[in-house]
Structures are given as structure tokens and as C-alpha cells.
A and B are shown apart, each in its own frame.
Chain A
Amino acid sequence: MSAAVIVFPGSNCDRDCKVAVERSTGEQVQMVWHAETELPKGLDLIVLPGGFSYGDYLRCGAMAAQAPIMQAVKKAADDGVTVVGICNGFQVLCEAGMLPGALMRNSSLKYICKPISITVANGQTRFTSGYQGQREIVMTQGNADGNYFADAETLKRIEGEGQVVFRYVDNPNGSVGDIAGLQNERGNVLGMMPHPDRAFEAELGSADGATLFQSIYAAA
């Protein structure tokens, strides 16, 4: 599998994503700077990492969605390459129009960092096949703007299409439909607020995140 992590100024989980994918799959991961206009050839996986891209002084992810490299990421997604956006990466995907809906300030209006339980809402995706019917998994989250919102019509569509991939067991931020992660219609772009890149070895409290990267690896 050939994988790359996009680095925006202010990304701070870029190394975590690289290490998580490498340790979960044994494959080397390349880093791609936001100012590039082309991606390395032959990628199977592109990861948009967490962090505070461009400081997130505008809406979270809004600046990064306009970065030069994002044109290439969109094209790759159109060509079927797997794209995963985690935390700030999820926000970027929504801002870039690659996923429906938006992420708002948490209902508590506070940054919340804690381990959370999520259910695999759709086990038939290229991201979740490895969970093999395992319903509940644990990852940590850390965000101030993880409150997913979509209008009723959109919500009906994504629920109907099985696009909801993960749901919170105990909704920490007010997300509509307890949505913790969702994919696009085609099923090759995933956005999620919890961090699989912080849950890839048991000593970190959970290795459930490794399964996600291994599922992608198996599908590649």
C-alpha cells in the first residue's frame, strides 16, 4: 500500500498519523506539504491529519480546504483513492465539500479530550471490514468543534445510503444522529472526529484504531 499524510501549517497529528499507519500496516508513509500541487504517483491512501490548520482562526478547516494540494486530493478521491480525514482532517473534508454537513462548536462550548466508545454503524466499508462484526470500539477524541451537523434532508440521505460509519455511544458534543464518522456516497472518503491515530497500540489505551488502517490496507 502506498500512503501519504498531508501536512498543513498547524497540523499537529501528522506524525501521529504516519506512525499509526506504519505501525498498523508495516508500510512506509510519505509526507506531502500543503503547498504542493501534485501528489506522489500511485497512492492508495491519503490521510488528512488532526491539528489546527492555519491556526483555525477562520472556521476550522476552512483555510486548509483552499490549500493548493487539495485540488490534487479531490482529483485523487474522484479517481477512487481512499481518503481519511481525522479530527481537523474531517473538518477540512466538510469545508472542501468532499463530505456533506459541517462541524460546529461542541454543545458544551469547550474543548473535550477523553477516551470514548463508538459503535461501528456500518461494518461493510473499506474502513471497517476488519472489525468483523465487533460493534463497540474505543478511541480518544480531542476537539472543540466536533459537533456534526447536517440538515434533515441530507441526514436522511446519508442515513439511507449507509454513509454513517461510526456513532457515539454517549454523544460528547451534540452531533446530530450521534454521528462520529461518515463516508461519501462512493465509499472511499471517510471523515471522523475520534482519533484512530492515538489508538493503535494497547499501551495507548486501545488498539482499535489499528484495525481501521489494517482494513484499508486489506482493501488496497
Chain B
Amino acid sequence: MSAPQKTIAQLAEEYGLAPNEYQVLLDRLGREPNQVELGVFSVMWSEHCSYKSSKTQLMKFPVTGERVICGPGENAGVIDIDDGDACIFKMESHNHPSYIEPYQGAATGVGGIMRDVFTMGARPVALLNALRFGDPSHEKSKRLVKGVVSGIGGYGNCVGVPTVAGETNFHKGYNGNILVNAMCVGLARADEIYYSAAPEAGHDVVYFGSKTGRDGIHGATMSSAEFDDESDAKRPTVQVGDPFAEKLLIEATLELMASGAVAAIQDMGAAGLTSSSVEMAGKGGVGVELDLDKVPQRETGMTAYEMMLSESQERMLAVLKPGYEDVGYRIFQKWGLDFAIIGKTTNTGHLVLKHHGDVVCDVPLAPLFDDAPLYDRPWVQPELQPRLDPAEVPAPESWNDAVLKVVACPDMASKRWIWEQYDRHVMADTLQDSSTGADAGVIRVHGTEKGLAVTSDCTPRYVQADPYEGGKQAVAEAWRNLTAVGSRPIAITDNLNFGNPQRPDIMGQIVRATDGMAEACRELDFPVVSGNVSLYNETNGVAIPPTPTVGAVGLLTNYDVTTGFGGAAEGDQLVLIGQTNGELGASIYLREVLGREDGAPPPVDLKLERKTGDFVRGLIEAGELTLVHDLSDGGLIGAAADIALASDVGIELNASSAAHAHAFLFGEDQARYLVAVADADALIAKAKDAGLHASVVGLVKGTDFASSGPKGELFRIPVAHVREFHEGWMPNWIEG
């Protein structure tokens, strides 16, 4: 007995359309859609494709600037990096798939973000990733970390793009929903950027790359819903990646572009053939007609619905200039990839799909493309965690234990186990990567004296405590990291990871975090050029900590003039530039040593942030600083330990005049840099002239990591012992 046929209205609900949205669809169409049409509408109107809950918030971001060539709305953002060179970059999440199938989920996340970048004409030159996993003791965590890391490595290493930087956090808030945010940075010539808008009616629409199969069907819809205990059953909606095909696709696509054949191009990402054809035609204001019989297929008997909803990887759609068909065929034959003319642009304004000679879909593009439902969802002001008075926060019972706990806690411990599995040197332009002591990855702009600095940042515990300040801090820290290597911060890409926006408290996090980010971007002249939103990151009603990840790019005009935090030498003085009030709210110290997660995050004074950063960068550019490290997680202890480990030297800190030594040493006040210099007086005088606070806080000496306090020595630990703890946590945990 077969199951009773579902009505279209029932299917609409199953495909993720809300009843009111289905009603809008009926109004726009003037009739009931068939299954293919319903599938097309439901994915285009999914949160993933339409940004329907976040669009009004994203409008707050500054998106223009002197160096912005193309802001949000295209496959990736484009910035001007002088001499006719352009840098193209974007960050994107693959959270839901990575939780369900970590290897393929993470691998295809890397593949997808690379396609966004080379679709615009850029050669991918660097990858970053921002990962958030659940509590290390959670039963799924080890398997997820292993799967995600080998997925990222397996894909990026094979394609041959170096993975140069990233961040990894662990928190029980991600037990049911991990975050895998991947960023790709590419290089192109500024006058050879490719866009997705189809130029006019009557052009050939070509499909190239891998064949279409039944994988990933309705992946975009899956990524627009919450998880429950049955989520593992969604594995079939996860796509399968083929990095070899991606490598060939990069080379073939760039060769096709160089031949002059491409009029418009769009990769097939979420919602595959549907979103790529709708985007191209919609942006170009034309119609499009596709003959699905001509779509290269991996499996037999695929229906129109399956073909349009498939998220098979490594596929592209393009509009060719007239007369270039043979050129295209030749290039793709050389690279062994499919190349097929599957339709043409029309002047009907409709998306028309034919299959086996029948018209299986004929819908107007306008409602699909720019008439998706838009929600200004109700929200409530997030409850803010009150500020902690440093005097009220206990000092550690054992200083030695506290220091070792901080440098070896899961968030702070070395991630060598992770990044040694990533090829960080292919392309032979990597100057700074995860293994070298520097606040940002640095690569050479191939064949020039310029360098690009790249970083990815967010401190979720701050955003949880105060979404507005936390949003500001994510942007400010990215800006600070780029500054600490001497680069000029140019622009950011954002990856907004939150829970269910239909809950007013979650929507409150989204509203306030984006308010803070927008404010920071304005104050720091740091526009948003691309981004991605991932909502519904919750399981059984429990949402992730709000995690608006910021990926950022800075420019070095001469890559020889850059700084890291290795190379400190015996006798160097450590100078702290910036003001320390001892902010311990939502700090690593509070969580790891005292087991508390309360308190307000350190406030971000954006004017001070800018002034301090500009001062430090000026000194780097003048060649007066060679060792710079920003202060963030773990405060002065975290930064000084990094310098000691990277330089293999001892450091003696001095907190003898601090009112509360633990607040001074562990406080996470913002807008601060730690530098090592031979002559501190000259530097302090310069800082004073600039209206900034600076003081000597320690000395490079011997082989111990130590600090004195008001009543004598607080701790003294051999650096070798610090290293053992810092390096030991991850391998002991994951291989244990």
C-alpha cells in the first residue's frame, strides 16, 4: 500500500514554508504551484538564501569605503589593494552539515567558500577557519573535532590553498550545534572582476564542473531549521566534496575567464541550480529558460525537483558571450570536466524549466529574487551581566596553578594538533601562519612587495554577556590583530551565528550584536564587504552562545615591515601600551580558575582603540618596533606567555604597584598592546606625547615565566613547564 499523496499545502510546510509565506506564494503566483515550483520557492525563501530575518539588521553595517570595490550582495567582497590589484574574500558557515557529518560538512564548507571567491575571478590564496566545539568532555566532541579538522585539511590541502590562520573554542553551549566558519581570500586584477548579473536576453547559459547527483537535496532548508534528537537522520542532506574536481574547476574557470568568454557567472552553492539561475537572471533583470535534459547527471532517473534542489558540489553556472562556445568546450575538455549549454536568458522575466519536453516550472523571477518575505522580528533587550569590581573578584589560591590553567585551558592551549594537519605553505608565499608567533596570518601578494594580513575573531563569552559590547569587541579585536602585525586594516567579512530568530531573546542578541559591530566598523573605518548568516543553531530549544565571527583583511605595503611576537631577547623590556583597569568580567581567568562565567565583558572604547592602534602601527611602519602582541584572552598573562613560548625566553612580569595583581595580570581590558624594546623610556615618552598610557610591565630574563606582586613573588614557572602544559592539552585530550 502506498502512502496517501500529500497535498501541495502539506508539502509546503514540509519544505519549511510558514503558512503565511505559502499564502504570499499563492498570491504572487495566482495559482497553486506544482512540486518543482514549490521546491524552488521554498529554498529561495529559506532563511539561508533569503536572509529574511537578518536583512534589516545587516542594513546597519557600513559597506562602502575608499578601498571598497564591491560590497555585500555578490559572491564575495572586493577591495582595492593598490597597483591595480584586488583582494576578494568572504567567510561562510557550514555549521549544520558539519554537525551531522563532520568530514564532508567541513570539507564542502571549504569548497563552497573557495568557489565564492574564484567565481569572481580571483585565485584563492589563503584559507582561515573559525571553529566552535562543545565541551571537550561531551561524548561527541572528539569525533567532531577529528572529522572537521580532517575535512578542512583533506579539502584545502588537496586543492592547494594554504590554511594560514584560525581560531578554535570549546564551550558546552556548542554541545548540540558546532560552528564551522570558513574564510577564503583571493587575489585578482581590479579590472578583471566577474559578477553574477546576466547581461541581457538571448545569451547561452552554460553549466560546468561536476555532474549533478542526488546529494544535498534541501540542504539550505535543513540549515534553516533547528535540530532535535533525530538530526543524525538528516545525513543524506549533507553534500559530498571532491577537492580534485574543485582544483580542476578553479583552473578551468580562471582559464575560461582569461579567454574572454564569461559575461556573468555564479557558483552553485546552497540551493544549487535554483539559486544560481535565479540570482543571475534576477540581478540582470532578465528571464531564464533551462532544459534540464541537458544538465550533466551523475545518476539516472533524476526528477526536475531533484535536479533543481541538488547541492552537488563543484558546479558553476555562467552566461557566455556569443561565439565562445567552442573556446569553452576546448578548455573544459582539457581539464576533464563537463561543459554543457543548458539554456538561455530570455526577456520573459520568468524562470522556465523544461524536462522531457514538458514545462515543469514557469514562475515569475521577481518574487523569488527580491520579493522574499522580510521579517522585522520582535526582540527584547538582552539581559546584561553586571560589571564586576576587581576588588570583589578573589585572587587565585595558587598562582602557579592559575597561570598554568589559563595557558592550558582548551581555548588557550596550543592548537598544533589541528594546524599541523593543514598545509600552510603551499603557494610559497606564507610569511606568518598559525605556527609562527604573530597575531594574524600574513601572505605575500604574489610577485609584489605587498603583503596581506588576515585574521578571524570573536569572543562568544563576551557577546553572551553583553551582545552590544561583544559585537564591538569582535570587530575591534580583528582590527587590533591586523594592526599588531603592522598592516592597515581594510575591511571585514562577517559570519553571524545565532539561534532561532523567532525567539525574541535570540533576536535581541542579533539586533544588539549587529548594533555593536556596525558601530565598531564605523569608528574604525572598517567596512563590511561580505558575509553570511547562520541562524537556528539550536537543539531541543537550547541555542548556541551568540557568535558573530569577524574575518578581516589588512594591507602591508612592504611585507618586510611587519611584526610578530617571537624573537624577544634577554634584556628586552616589555612595555604595555594602553590603559589597564583590570576587567575580569567574562574573562578566561574567571571561567577557568574560579569556575564562573558572570560579569560584564571589558568595554570597548573605539576612539581609544583607534588612537592606540594607529600609534602602534605608526611605530611599526617607522621601523621602531619589531615585537608586538595584542592583549586579549588571558590578558597580560596570556600575551606574555605567548611571547615567552614563541621566543623561547624567560619573562619576569612586575605587578608590584598594581592595586589588585590578579586583575592587572589577568584582566582583559581592550585596546592594549604588549611590545618588547631595548629602550623603554623613548617609547613611553612617545606614547605620552600621543596621549596614551604606557609603562614597563616586565623584563625578558632567564628561563622562567614569573611575576612579582605587591607582596613579593607571585609565581615562577620554568618556560619549559609552561610549554608542556600549553602544548600538552590538545594531544592528551584528543589522542587520550
Contact with A along B232-275 (1 / 0, CB 8 A): 00000000001111011000000000000000000000000000
B428 partner, pick from A9, A10, A16, A114, beta carbons under 8 A: A16
Find out whether the CB atom of B244 lies under 8 angstroms from the CB atom of A54. Answer: yes
B243 partner, pick from A55, A113, A195, A205, beta carbons under 8 A: A55
Find out whether the CB atom of A10 lies under 8 angstroms from the CB atom of B244. Answer: yes
User: A10-B248, A203-B559 are contacts. A16–B426 as well, Cβ < 8 Å?
Assistant: yes
Measured CB to CB, the closest approach of chain A to B560, in angstroms, equals 7
Find out whether the CB atom of B158 lies under 8 angstroms from the CB atom of A55. Answer: yes
User: A9-B336, A203-B559 are contacts. A15–B421 as well, Cβ < 8 Å?
Assistant: no
Q: Which residues of B contact A51 (CB under 8 A)?
A: 160
> How many residues does chain A have at the interface if contact means C-beta atoms less than 8 Å apart?
33
Q: Which residues of A contact B490 (CB under 8 A)?
A: none
Cα distance A33–B420 when bound, in Å? 31
Contact with B along A28-58 (1 / 0, CB 8 A): 0000010100000000000000111011110
User: A13-B160, A55-B244 are contacts. A142–B425 as well, Cβ < 8 Å?
Assistant: yes
Cα distance A12–B425 when bound, in Å? 11
Find out whether the CB atom of B560 lies under 8 angstroms from the CB atom of A20. Answer: no
Find out whether the CB atom of B423 lies under 8 angstroms from the CB atom of A142. Answer: yes
- For residue B22, CB closer than 8 A to chain A, the reply is no
Q: Which residues of A contact B420 (CB under 8 A)?
A: 110, 112-114
A142's nearest neighbour on chain B, judged by CB, is B423
Cα distance A200–B424 when bound, in Å? 16
Contact with A along B326-348 (1 / 0, CB 8 A): 00000000111000000000000
Q: Which residues of B contact A54 (CB under 8 A)?
A: 244
Interface residues of B in 141-176 (CB under 8 A from A): 150, 153-154, 157-160
B248's nearest neighbour on chain A, judged by CB, is A9
Cα distance A55–B243 when bound, in Å? 7
Find out whether the CB atom of B423 lies under 8 angstroms from the CB atom of A113. Answer: yes
- For residue A197, CB closer than 8 A to chain B, the reply is yes
A50's nearest neighbour on chain B, judged by CB, is B426
Q: Which residues of B contact A57 (CB under 8 A)?
A: 244
Q: Which residues of A contact B160 (CB under 8 A)?
A: 12-13, 51-52
Cα distance A142–B244 when bound, in Å? 17
Interface residues of A in 162-220 (CB under 8 A from B): 195, 197-198, 200, 203-205
- For residue B61, CB closer than 8 A to chain A, the reply is no
Find out whether the CB atom of B153 lies under 8 angstroms from the CB atom of A111. Answer: yes
Cα distance A2–B428 when bound, in Å? 22
User: A9-B248, A203-B559 are contacts. A198–B242 as well, Cβ < 8 Å?
Assistant: no
- For residue A67, CB closer than 8 A to chain B, the reply is no
Find out whether the CB atom of B428 lies under 8 angstroms from the CB atom of A12. Answer: no
Measured CB to CB, the closest approach of chain A to B416, in angstroms, equals 9
Contact with A along B421-444 (1 / 0, CB 8 A): 111111110110001100000001
- For residue A19, CB closer than 8 A to chain B, the reply is yes
Contact with B along A3-25 (1 / 0, CB 8 A): 00000011011011001100000
Find out whether the CB atom of A112 lies under 8 angstroms from the CB atom of B421. Answer: yes
Interface residues of B in 382-440 (CB under 8 A from A): 419-428, 430-431, 435-436
Find out whether the CB atom of B247 lies under 8 angstroms from the CB atom of A13. Answer: no
Q: Which residues of A contact B335 (CB under 8 A)?
A: 9
Q: Which residues of A contact B421 (CB under 8 A)?
A: 110-113
Q: Which residues of A contact B153 (CB under 8 A)?
A: 111
A111 partner, pick from B157, B159, B428, B430, beta carbons under 8 A: B157
Find out whether the CB atom of B247 lies under 8 angstroms from the CB atom of A19. Answer: no
- For residue A140, CB closer than 8 A to chain B, the reply is yes
Contact with B along A109-120 (1 / 0, CB 8 A): 011111100000
B427's nearest neighbour on chain A, judged by CB, is A16
Cα distance A138–B560 when bound, in Å? 21
Measured CB to CB, the closest approach of chain A to B134, in angstroms, equals 22
Find out whether the CB atom of B158 lies under 8 angstroms from the CB atom of A198. Answer: no
Cα distance A50–B247 when bound, in Å? 14
- Most chain B CB atoms below 10 A, which of A10, A112, A204, A205: A10
Cα distance A20–B153 when bound, in Å? 24
- Most chain B CB atoms below 10 A, which of A115, A144, A195: A144
Find out whether the CB atom of A198 lies under 8 angstroms from the CB atom of B244. Answer: no
Contact with A along B454-482 (1 / 0, CB 8 A): 00000000000000000000000000000
Cα distance A112–B686 when bound, in Å? 45
Measured CB to CB, the closest approach of chain A to B553, in angstroms, equals 20
Measured CB to CB, the closest approach of chain A to B258, in angstroms, equals 15
A201's nearest neighbour on chain B, judged by CB, is B428
Q: Which residues of A contact B425 (CB under 8 A)?
A: 113, 140, 142, 195, 198, 204
Q: Which residues of B contact A113 (CB under 8 A)?
A: 157, 419-425
Cα distance A12–B335 when bound, in Å? 14
Cα distance A142–B424 when bound, in Å? 8
Cα distance A112–B385 when bound, in Å? 43
Cα distance A42–B638 when bound, in Å? 58
- Most chain A CB atoms below 10 A, which of B247, B248, B425: B425
Measured CB to CB, the closest approach of chain A to B613, in angstroms, equals 25
Q: Which residues of A contact B436 (CB under 8 A)?
A: 205
Cα distance A217–B695 when bound, in Å? 54
Q: Which residues of A contact B430 (CB under 8 A)?
A: 204
Interface residues of B in 348-398 (CB under 8 A from A): none
A203 partner, pick from B334, B427, B431, beta carbons under 8 A: B431
Cα distance A195–B159 when bound, in Å? 17
Find out whether the CB atom of A10 lies under 8 angstroms from the CB atom of B158. Answer: yes
Find out whether the CB atom of B159 lies under 8 angstroms from the CB atom of A12. Answer: yes
A12 partner, pick from B245, B247, B444, B559, beta carbons under 8 A: B247
Measured CB to CB, the closest approach of chain A to B179, in angstroms, equals 23
B247's nearest neighbour on chain A, judged by CB, is A10
Measured CB to CB, the closest approach of chain A to B332, in angstroms, equals 12
Find out whether the CB atom of A15 lies under 8 angstroms from the CB atom of B157. Answer: no
A52 partner, pick from B150, B243, B427, B559, beta carbons under 8 A: B243
Q: Which residues of B contact A110 (CB under 8 A)?
A: 150, 420-421
A13's nearest neighbour on chain B, judged by CB, is B426
Q: Which residues of B contact A200 (CB under 8 A)?
A: 428
Contact with B along A126-170 (1 / 0, CB 8 A): 000000000000001010100000000000000000000000000
Cα distance A62–B446 when bound, in Å? 32
Cα distance A19–B248 when bound, in Å? 21
Q: Which residues of A contact B422 (CB under 8 A)?
A: 111, 113
Find out whether the CB atom of A204 lies under 8 angstroms from the CB atom of B431. Answer: yes
User: A10-B158, A113-B423, A142-B423 are contacts. A198–B247 as well, Cβ < 8 Å?
Assistant: no
Measured CB to CB, the closest approach of chain B to A209, in angstroms, equals 9
- Most chain A CB atoms below 10 A, which of B159, B428, B431: B428
- Listed by A's residue number, 13 A-B pairs whose Cβ atoms lie within 8 Å are A9-B248, A9-B335, A12-B159, A13-B426, A52-B247, A55-B243, A56-B244, A111-B154, A113-B420, A113-B425, A140-B425, A142-B157, A203-B559
By a beta-carbon cutoff of 8 Å, the part of chain A in contact with chain B is 9-10, 12-13, 15-16, 19-20, 33, 35, 50-52, 54-57, 110-115, 140, 142, 144, 195, 197-198, 200, 203-205
For the A-B complex with A113-B421, A140-B425 known, give 5 more contacts whose Cβ atoms are closer than 8 Å.
A12-B426, A15-B427, A54-B244, A55-B158, A197-B428
What are the 6 closest A-B residue pairs judged by CB atoms, nearest first? A12-B160, A55-B244, A16-B428, A142-B423, A52-B158, A198-B425
